[in-house]
Every structure is written in structure tokens, then in C-alpha cells.
Amino acid sequence: MIKNTINKHGLSCILCLVSFIFMGQTVVQQCKYRFDNYLNFKGSCNHRIEFQKEVIYILDSKGKKEFAIYASEIPMLAKFFANSSFAKQEKFIKFKGIKNLKATQRDSILAKLNDKKIIIRQNKLPLSGYRVAIDPGHSATNLMEAEIEQKFLYFVKDSINHPLDSVKLFESVLTFNTAQLLQKMLEEQGAKVLLTRSQNNFNSFNCTYTTWLTNHKDRVLDSLKNANVLPKAKYAKLMKMNDHDVFWEFFRDYELTNRAKVMNEFNPHASVIIHYNVDEKNEPWKQCSKKNFTMAFIGGAFTGDNLDKPENLVHFIRLLVTDELNQSEILASLTVNNFSNNLDIPKASQFDANYLKDNCLLPKSPGVFSRNLNLCRLVNSPLVYGESLYQDNEKECDALMKDDVNFKGIKTNDRLLNVAKSYYQAVLMFLKN
Ligand SMILES: [Zn+2]
């Protein structure tokens, strides 16, 4: 039985804050709120957008208007972007440009839309009819692949007193175990759950990186070259690269895009992206750290340069007109509150890591940061990208290596179970409110 430790007062404060923000705001002001609070990284997008009373213009790098969002169109646009594929969104932006769509055109677009987020209940369980996508981060579970992916800890903790006791943790194993626990908890409440990977050593193509290199690399690169997606010079370079460089120059982003595609095709009502953090000042992570902080990311923090890439512009417009970022802040705030309470770890502030100060915007909720990470940008649903704890913390690294807890047939430990419960409680509270 899971004890519900969510602070109900905390939730009502968040909901009050959100309704207060929206009370009396026009749809243009709501977009402006999202632009100011989540999207515009330190003013760097100021020259790419123009807010007027009844219209928002998106400008190209030379200041020419390239897309217009009229107030009368915003409810339709929000519905369209929440319920359409990236390919359709890209086509629509090109077609619409700065035209002001007539009421009949708006109605015809709405009539063709299938509201994918509609809830069809199958039974009385609280999450019946809801879909939750879970992405357990990374994929390496052996030292050879982990050396490439750089998401593992391997060191002797105390070389004088315990020279044979080493810390050996693969982030992919931790995230996958957490995802399995969370899946079990959500399914018991009636939710339909998707995991982007089917095994702890697999990526979202259902194989290891080594298998992908042997069986799929040449075919994938050939087809991308033939489709003119991959320039010939880059193709030639990739074909000669070693496995490490292929991972960082191509595979990492290619595979993350696939994770987002798999999640978006599932049309989730909420998405959970699971990661475990390290203390950045402890690099190269060959010893323990005394620090431990908890945090969660949501989308946003675009720079003006980001918008030069047409693909990014599509995501930017989607995040501007839909309420995904507002919803993500609620979900992320619930999650980070649970992490902090259930795991007894303080919430990070912008001064606790350089990437928080240098790459993120600070929405109002403590411990939640807007950051333009691939999945935060590509996944079309309210989401939380959780970094519950520091794996290299002196107490956590020991606790995380244990597998002394059995949760309904899944071997785990106390820390991972508490992380999974934190996500579960947050998703349940979020979807039910
Ligand atoms: Zn990670």
C-alpha cells in the first residue's frame, strides 16, 4: 500500500497560483506569460517576436514577419498543436504564414481534428482512460558501452580500508528499474503505460548500441543520405568515425528523436522522463560527493539562435500557444516536492549547479527549471524530466547498489522505490486534478 504523503495544501497553492495567473488574462497575454516565464532565455528571443494587443508576430533573423498568431486563432491553434503530428504542424506553419484565418477556415481545421487527449474510461479505476509515457534515460549497462555514453560511476570508495569495495552504477539500470516500478504502480490504477525501452540495456530501437552499430548503422546512414536528410560530406565523415564519435556526433540525437516519436505516437496525457544526476563539481566522478540536490526540468529556455532552425521554430510555436508548459510546471512541481519530502533531499536553487544558472530559466515553482533539452522540446504533452538525486553522493551510491527490496516481483532498493513513488503520486495527483 502506498502512503499518500502529498501535501494537499501545497497542491491547492499551485492550482490557485495557476488560476490567478490566468484570471482576466487575454489569450495573447497568456502566450506572453509563457514567453516571459518559460521560453525567452535571458531576453535572447526579444528580437524574434512582437506582441501586439490582438496579434503576435514571429520574426525571422532579419526582423521580417514570418508567422502571425491572431488572438481569434489562439484557441484553435492550441488545439491543433496539441493534437497533430510534427509533420502536419510544419506544413501548417508554412501554409498559414502571416495570414489571418477566417472563422470558416478555423472551424474546418477544428472539424478535421481528432481530440487525442479525450478520456475513454474502461472501468472505475482512478486512472482508467489515461495514457502515461515513461522514458527511462540512457541505455549502457556494460563498461564498454558506458565508456562511450559516459553515464556510469566506477571507482573504489575507500582504497585504504576497503580496497575491494567498488562503486559500480549504470544510470540506465537505475532509470529502467524506476520505470518498471512506476509502470506497475500506474497500471494498478488503470493507466495505460508506455516505456520507450523494453530492457535495461536496450535503447528505443530495441537493441544495444553495439547491435545497432553492427546491424543498422550502414543502412540508416545510407537511407538518410539518399533522402537528402544527411549531407554527403557528413555521411562520409560518419562512415569513417570510431564508435565513440558516431555516438556523440549522430546516434545520441537520432535516438532521442526516436524516443520522442515513440512517446508522441502514444498520445500521452502525461510524460515522465527519468534520470539520475551527479554532482557536476565532482568530475571525473572517481570519488563520492557530500552534496545531494533534487530538481526537475520542463521545456523552454530557447535562445534567439535556436529559432534559426525551422524545426525548432515549430516546437517554439507549439509551446507558446498550448498550455503544455503551464501544465508541465504543475506536474514537475508536484514531482520535485515529493522527491524532497520522500527522499529527504533539498530542492536545488539556481546557485547549486552551473547549468542551472547558465542554461535554465526559473519558473515560479522551487526546484523546477525550464531547460531546452531535446526531450523537453520534442515531447508533445505535459511532462516532467526528473533528476531526483545525486548518484555519487556518499550515502546514495551505497543505497543505490542494493537490491534488497521486492516490490510486487520487481527487485529494487529503498531509494529507487521512493523515487518511483514520488513520480507516481505526482502523476496521480496531476491527472486527477
Ligand atoms: Zn541522465
Residue 53, exposed/middle/buried by CB under 10 A (0-12, 13-18, 19+)? exposed
Distance 9 CA to ligand 1 centre (A): 31
Distance 416 CA to ligand 1 centre (A): 15
Same domain? For 81 and 150 the reply is no
Name the residue range of residue 99's domain: 25-112
Q: What is the pLDDT of residue 6?
A: 46
Q: Residue 4: which pLDDT band, with cuts at 50, 70 and 90?
A: very low
Measure the CA–CA gap between 68 and 98, rounded to whole angstroms: 4
Same domain? For 254 and 402 the reply is yes
Distance 106 CA to ligand 1 centre (A): 41
Residue 367 domain flag? yes
Secondary structure of residue 395 in the 3-state scheme: coil
Same domain? For 78 and 136 the reply is no
Same domain? For 100 and 197 the reply is no
Give the pLDDT mean for 406-413. Answer: 98
Distance 304 CA to ligand 1 centre (A): 26
Q: Residue 163: which pLDDT band, with cuts at 50, 70 and 90?
A: confident
Secondary structure of residue 102 in the 3-state scheme: coil
How many separate domains does the chain show? Answer: 2
Q: Residue 143: which pLDDT band, with cuts at 50, 70 and 90?
A: confident
Of 80, 112, 144, the one marking the end of a domain is 112
Residue 71 domain flag? yes
Distance 306 CA to ligand 1 centre (A): 23
Spatial contact of 4 and 23, defined as CB atoms under 8 Å apart? no
Measure the CA–CA gap between 330 and 335, rounded to whole angstroms: 9
List own/partner pairs for 105-110 with CB under 8 A and 24 or more apart: 106/72, 106/73, 106/76, 109/76, 109/80, 110/76, 110/79, 110/80
Distance 136 CA to ligand 1 centre (A): 9
Q: Which residue has the cell 488572438?
A: 71
At residue 389, does pLDDT exceed 70?
A: yes
Measure the CA–CA gap between 307 and 314, rounded to whole angstroms: 9
Residue 36 domain flag? yes
Same domain? For 206 and 354 the reply is yes
Same domain? For 280 and 308 the reply is yes
At 162, which CATH number? 3.40.630.40
Phi and psi dihedrals of 283, rounded to 5?
-55, 140
Q: Residue 28: which pLDDT band, with cuts at 50, 70 and 90?
A: very high
How many CA atoms does the CB half-sphere of 312 hold within 13 Å? 18
Distance 283 CA to ligand 1 centre (A): 15
pLDDT digits (tens, 9 = 90+) for 167-185: 899 999 999 999 999 999 9
Measure the CA–CA gap between 279 and 390, rounded to whole angstroms: 6
Q: What is the pLDDT of residue 396?
A: 96
Alpha-helical regions (H) of 169-304: 171-188, 209-215, 217-226, 232-240, 243-246, 252-265
Same domain? For 309 and 428 the reply is yes
Distance 143 CA to ligand 1 centre (A): 16
List own/partner pairs for 49-54 with CB under 8 A and 24 or more apart: 52/28, 53/28, 54/28
Same domain? For 91 and 143 the reply is no
Q: What is the pLDDT of residue 2?
A: 42
Distance 203 CA to ligand 1 centre (A): 13
Calculate the CA dihedral of residues 12, 126, 273, 39 and round it to 10 degrees: -40
Residue 125 domain flag? no
Distance 343 CA to ligand 1 centre (A): 19
Distance 232 CA to ligand 1 centre (A): 32
Same domain? For 95 and 171 the reply is no
Distance 134 CA to ligand 1 centre (A): 14
Distance 97 CA to ligand 1 centre (A): 38
Distance 365 CA to ligand 1 centre (A): 22
Sheet holding 55-59, edge to edge: 49-51, 55-59, 65-70
Q: Residue 156: which pLDDT band, with cuts at 50, 70 and 90?
A: confident
At residue 338, does pLDDT exceed 80?
A: yes
Q: What is the pLDDT of residue 10?
A: 57
Distance 7 CA to ligand 1 centre (A): 28
Distance 278 CA to ligand 1 centre (A): 9
Spatial contact of 276 and 388, defined as CB atoms under 8 Å apart? yes
pLDDT digits (tens, 9 = 90+) for 187-232: 999 999 999 999 999 999 999 999 999 999 999 999 999 999 999 9
The neighbour count for residue 84, using CB atoms within 10 Å, is 20
Strand partners, 405: 412
C-alpha pair distances (Å), 309 with each of 91, 233, 315, 316, 349 = 15, 20, 10, 11, 31
Same domain? For 404 and 310 the reply is yes
**What percent of the chain stands above pLDDT 70?**
94
Distance 356 CA to ligand 1 centre (A): 15
Q: What is the pLDDT of residue 114?
A: 86
At residue 20, does pLDDT exceed 80?
A: no
Distance 99 CA to ligand 1 centre (A): 42
Residue 14 domain flag? no
pLDDT digits (tens, 9 = 90+) for 347-379: 999 999 999 999 999 999 999 999 999 999 999
Average model confidence (pLDDT) across the chain:
93
Give the pLDDT mean for 72-79. Answer: 95
Distance 353 CA to ligand 1 centre (A): 15
Residue 15 domain flag? no
Q: Residue 430: which pLDDT band, with cuts at 50, 70 and 90?
A: very high
Distance 385 CA to ligand 1 centre (A): 10
Distance 138 CA to ligand 1 centre (A): 6
Residue 160, exposed/middle/buried by CB under 10 A (0-12, 13-18, 19+)? exposed
Spatial contact of 230 and 221, defined as CB atoms under 8 Å apart? yes
Residue 194 domain flag? yes
Distance 274 CA to ligand 1 centre (A): 8
Give the pLDDT mean for 132-138. Answer: 98
Measure the CA–CA gap between 23 and 124, rounded to whole angstroms: 33
Spatial contact of 367 and 333, defined as CB atoms under 8 Å apart? yes
Query: Lowest-confidence range among 11-15, 114-118, 139-143, 370-374?
Result: 11-15
Q: What is the pLDDT of residue 17?
A: 53
**What percent of the chain stands above pLDDT 90?**
85
Distance 46 CA to ligand 1 centre (A): 31
Secondary structure of residue 276 in the 3-state scheme: strand
Same domain? For 59 and 154 the reply is no
At residue 60, does pLDDT exceed 50?
A: yes
Same domain? For 283 and 390 the reply is yes
Residue 16 domain flag? no
Q: What is the pLDDT of residue 217?
A: 97
Secondary structure of residue 155 in the 3-state scheme: strand
Q: What is the pLDDT of residue 341?
A: 98
Distance 170 CA to ligand 1 centre (A): 10
CA angle 187, 399, 427 (to 5 degrees): 25
Q: Residue 1: which pLDDT band, with cuts at 50, 70 and 90?
A: very low
Distance 172 CA to ligand 1 centre (A): 8
